[in-house]
Amino acid sequence: AQKITQTQPGMFVQEKEAVTLDCTYDTSDQSYGLFWYKQPSSGEMIFLIYQGSYDEQNATEGRYSLNFQKARKSANLVISASQLGDSAMYFCAMRERQNNDMRFGAGTRLTVKP
Amino acid sequence: DSGVTQTPKHLITATGQRVTLRCSPRSGDLSVYWYQQSLDQGLQFLIQYYNGEERAKGNILERFSAQQFPDLHSELNLSSLELGDSALYFCASSASGTALYNEQFFGPGTRLTVL
């Protein structure tokens, strides 16, 4: 069964505006971690932000914030003040305590327009 | 630069052949992870080693095997290659083996093309 769902194959945003990339997940584990990675066209995977299932505050890292809604099992990435360099694939991932592996979503391709 | 190195960067081979991909983790990291990224399957976790021992197994085919050596570098062996094995293979490393907050640093990947 698909554990991580990213429903937006592609998104467009105007430079300097904010954008939200959706991610929903499925788990019966009470203890898990949620991650967002960025993959530019050059191919490398860049870690952006992490949210633990027991964290009460939404995670923030610079222009990135994670809108964590535990009851809805969603972990949306919000990028504020988009820059042209933000154009990339974005992957949501989950690591469960019981499984110890990392499951990735299909990704969302974000294009920032000048 | 994540500090994780992978060699070779590109590999072109024929069906039925065997190849070895190599990964050196960041200095001090004990865990190594292998991932396969293909157009049809997306990014899939293959296997994790922690300090020389297998820690977690994902969607790794029986034709594939991996190991982590005492110096912590890891190799992924792919045998009896098929066209569908063409993909980008990532190695990642982390300091911990089981901590949930386990930031993984990815290498640049090895692009494997099977003809």
What is the reported pLDDT for B100? Answer: 65
Question: Hey, are the CB atoms on B100 and A101 less than 8 Å from each other?
Answer: no
- List residues of chain B with CB under 8 Å from any CB of chain A: 2, 33, 42-45, 48, 55-58, 88, 90, 92, 98, 100-106, 108-109
pLDDT in tens, A5-54: 999 999 999 999 999 999 999 999 898 999 999 999 988 999 999 999 99
pLDDT at B97: 64
Cis peptide before B8 (omega within 30 of 0): yes
pLDDT of residue A98: 75
Residue pLDDT, tens place only, B33-55: 999 999 888 899 999 999 999 98
Residues of B in contact with A2 (CB under 8 A): none
pLDDT at B96 over 90: no
How much is the pLDDT for A97?
80
- The reply to whether residue B33 touches residue A103, judged by beta carbons under 8 angstroms, is no
Q: Dihedral, CA atoms, B55, B24, A88, A77, nearest 10 degrees? A: 40
Q: Does A55 or A111 have the greater pLDDT score?
A: A111
Do the beta carbons of residue B55 and residue B98 sit within 8 Å? yes
| Cβ-proximal residues to A85 (8 Å cutoff; 6+ apart), any chain | A112
B106–A91 CB contact, under 8 Å: no
Q: How far is A63 from chain B (nearest CA, A)?
A: 19
Tokens at A40, concatenated: 């530019």
